[in-house]
Chain A
């Protein structure tokens, strides 16, 4: 038992230290331009975590992050690199938006369910491509998913500027979705049912990974595929299943985000660097633990929503958040492999 406590503490330090280091270096950059790093960081956190409205907004923004974080985390467990989460999410969001806008006369519940289902389906199908290539031709899924991300971005760009363009809008966008497809906001904040959906998914995935046969098999595949195959786990089938689950979660993230926040598809739908890449950070920070995913998502959402405030109160460019994000991932990379090996 003592061993476990030490391991737990180690794990905690392994996670917190990289974050601290990243903020430290970010702080140096802020100092370099003559601003106060502590003040900047405080502003970052204050509005987003320490007011009730701010907190609800943060939880709201955390919802798609929880899902993309999950999507990447489960593939990491299996030693797969699904870099296409961004593309799968965009696809899910886009087609959920189209379904939301063009399907009329439906009851709110049915409409929402259909839109979410469309998003999930799109994500799943799109993830099927690299999955099939990996399983049938043994192609490196990382390279394929990266390529397909760019391809999908261009295709969606084309669709949004051409066929599905909302001519009434001043910039490139698809039509706004029907009211029946929008998630209702609770009170004055932006929090919606979507957050609950994300939490439910988190809980389900936790049970699956820790207590189900599938979770056992995924872990085994991630550690030793030969062993997994010899133990009768049909590795190829499981890989496909995992990529599709990952795609489904990504698609759900996009659909939910569309229906609770964006309401239309624009070229900046996913923000910068993109919800998929944010998911990467979250998976690295908290991926071994569902609670970790939740905490990491809230933490990162707080950063993101706070970054808008930075511009208002200081001269620090809001890109500082993206820089810190890159640094966190950099420092986490070392812990990442150590955890795996132990």
Chain B
């Protein structure tokens, strides 16, 4: 029977309709996946089921009875629990403190918390579900996969029947993903209903019993997993045949000249622990070097060091023979390095500044824009208009701020700005994260064109398919070290997956 159902559920943010009359039904003890592109409205839907957002209209039914959710505590009371993509854990507290947050146990009538009792309860729960966790570990000390298990445990402690997971595999190694799927199936056997939001179609096929496809706020398909395929789902998601990027055809040969050389690059965090450890690689002219790895294994730090936002403690960086080790961002640009940063709103753009102002970021010293310290506003606006035209950037109000743009269009501004400066090497970090399919295709094409001019690209991405389709050579990072180098022609996903999880080709753990 339907354990949870929505009827005509709608959510509007002002004029924008995020969810348009959604009819969804989930059967008891099934695993359902909700798929859709970035920005399709999946998270909005789930936030309404968890009480974090209130519907504009429509109904939510639990076991055929309508309910109104005023907040997360309401949802939990009705047996709905949620594990968010960005964990809602308190780092300085322990596992058991996080699990018991909001439902602490006191010593008798006093307001003092009974820590022993809490630890006992949580330990029992861990045992019951077979999670590998230590109740007294601090969150800041445990792995990402473990943190996710704490989040799930939080919900299980509160006796939820329905567990919603939002993009759970974004931060896991392929092996951890498999582990998660096993755990979810076990939970289903114990009588729980699971809803997973994801855009990874392979996982949908392996894990779910049924799939609902959402596109631009509307439901466009409700299928049984065994009756469909990845291709069909992809088509429903975007409404056309998506060319899942095949390995790009090369028009030119890779030269043998080394463009960019990094040797033994190392840096540490505040406690003195190595974040990246003796990283060495090179990029040749006319080559795209892909850096694969699950997020959190040092890629961010590597990029920060290479883009001048962090200092290295050892190692060297050379571009065409010139020493660029530890130079500051301004010098990097002057020496011909372009940067597409990992967090477009953190390092790439300023949300509260105008589009024109963002178009010259990093280049404000250039003679075209600035004379004797005064900015030439007309030149800047001309440049902005050029980018909008050449890079197909969709803008409502040209004078507006970057915050008015969608993720894909904002990313295109960065791409335009960096490529138009004509660098020698482009460092592209997670270039298509959170970007719609159309923009993804566009950006990939730009990267290929750039490479074909004989330049180099250092591509860092946690989307394995992106790495596989664009790179000429692939290196893998694990726990701050480089653990493997492969040529893209011969590699298999299995090989990379193992390396990403720290298991060397000989089968031993790294």
Q: Footprint of B on A, CB under 8 Å?
A: 3, 207, 211-214, 216-217, 219-220, 223-224, 226-234, 341-342
Contacts and interface: CB of A to CB of B under 8 A. Distances in A.
B307 A230 contact: yes
Given A213-B370, A232-B365, 9 more contacts: A213-B375, A216-B357, A217-B364, A223-B352, A230-B329, A230-B348, A231-B329, A231-B362, A233-B330
3 tightest Cβ-Cβ pairs between the two chains A and B: A232-B330, A231-B361, A230-B347
B329 A232 contact: yes
Contacts, number: 73
B428 to A, nearest CB: 14
B452 to A, nearest CB: 27
B373 A213 contact: yes
A227 B373 contact: no
Contacts of A219: 353
Given A230-B339, A230-B362, A224 B346 contact: yes
A232 B331 CA distance: 8
Nearest to A340: B352
A294 B374 CA distance: 24
A28 B131 CA distance: 65
A342 B353 CA distance: 10
A212 B374 CA distance: 4
A212 B376 CA distance: 9
Nearest to A4: B399
A234 B341 CA distance: 18
Contacts of A341: 352
B365 A227 contact: no
Interface string B13-45: 000000000000000000000000000000000
A213 B377 CA distance: 11
Interface in B377-397: 377, 397
B351 interface: yes
B366 to A, nearest CB: 10
B374 A226 contact: no
Contacts of B365: 213, 232
B330 A212 contact: no
A226 B333 contact: no
B328 interface: yes
Given A213-B364, A226-B309, A226-B346, A232 B333 contact: yes
Nearest to B397: A3
Given A213-B365, A232-B329, A224 B309 contact: no
Contact of B353 (A3, A223, A230, A232): A223
Given A213-B370, A219-B353, A227-B347, A232 B362 contact: yes
A224 B402 CA distance: 13
Of A220, A230, A232, A342, chain B has the most CB atoms within 10 Å of the CB of A230
Contacts of B364: 213, 216-217, 231-233
B328 A234 contact: yes
Nearest to B344: A227
Nearest to B307: A230
A233 B361 CA distance: 9
A229 B329 contact: yes
Interface residues of B, number: 30
Nearest to A227: B350
Given A232-B330, A232-B333, A227 B361 contact: yes
A213 B374 contact: yes
Contacts of A224: 346, 350-352
A229 B357 CA distance: 15
Interface of B: 307-309, 328-330, 332-333, 339, 341, 343, 346-353, 357, 361-362, 364-365, 370, 373-375, 377, 397
A226 B375 contact: no
A214 B373 contact: yes
Contacts of A234: 328, 330
A216 B362 CA distance: 12
A220 to B, nearest CB: 6
Contacts of A211: 374-375, 377
Given A232-B330, A232-B333, A234-B328, A223 B362 contact: no
Contacts of A223: 350-353
B328 A230 contact: no
14 contacts: A207-B374, A217-B364, A219-B353, A224-B350, A226-B347, A227-B347, A229-B309, A229-B329, A230-B329, A230-B348, A230-B362, A232-B328, A232-B329, A233-B330
A229 B310 CA distance: 11
A4 to B, nearest CB: 9
A213 B375 CA distance: 6
Contact of B375 (A212, A229, A230, A231): A212
A227 B348 contact: yes
Contacts of A230: 307-309, 329, 339, 341, 347-348, 362
Q: Give the one of B308, B350, B353, B373 with max A CB within 10 A.
A: B350
Nearest to A3: B397
Contacts of B333: 232
A212 B362 CA distance: 15
Nearest to B370: A213
Contacts of B375: 211-213, 216
Contacts of A227: 346-350, 361
B373 A212 contact: yes
A224 B357 CA distance: 13
Nearest to B417: A231
A155 B343 CA distance: 48
A220 B309 contact: no
A175 to B, nearest CB: 42
Contacts of B353: 219-220, 223
Contacts of A220: 350, 353, 357, 361
Residue with the highest number of chain A CB atoms closer than 10 Å, among B307, B309, B361, B377: B361
A228 B332 CA distance: 14
Contacts of B329: 229-232
A149 B199 CA distance: 57
A219 B307 CA distance: 22
User: Which of B307, B357, B364 lies at the interface centre, i.e. has the most chain A CB atoms within 10 A of its CB?
Assistant: B364
Contacts of A3: 397
A223 B309 CA distance: 17
B189 to A, nearest CB: 46
A163 to B, nearest CB: 42
Nearest to A341: B352
A342 B354 CA distance: 12
Nearest to B369: A213
A219 B373 CA distance: 15
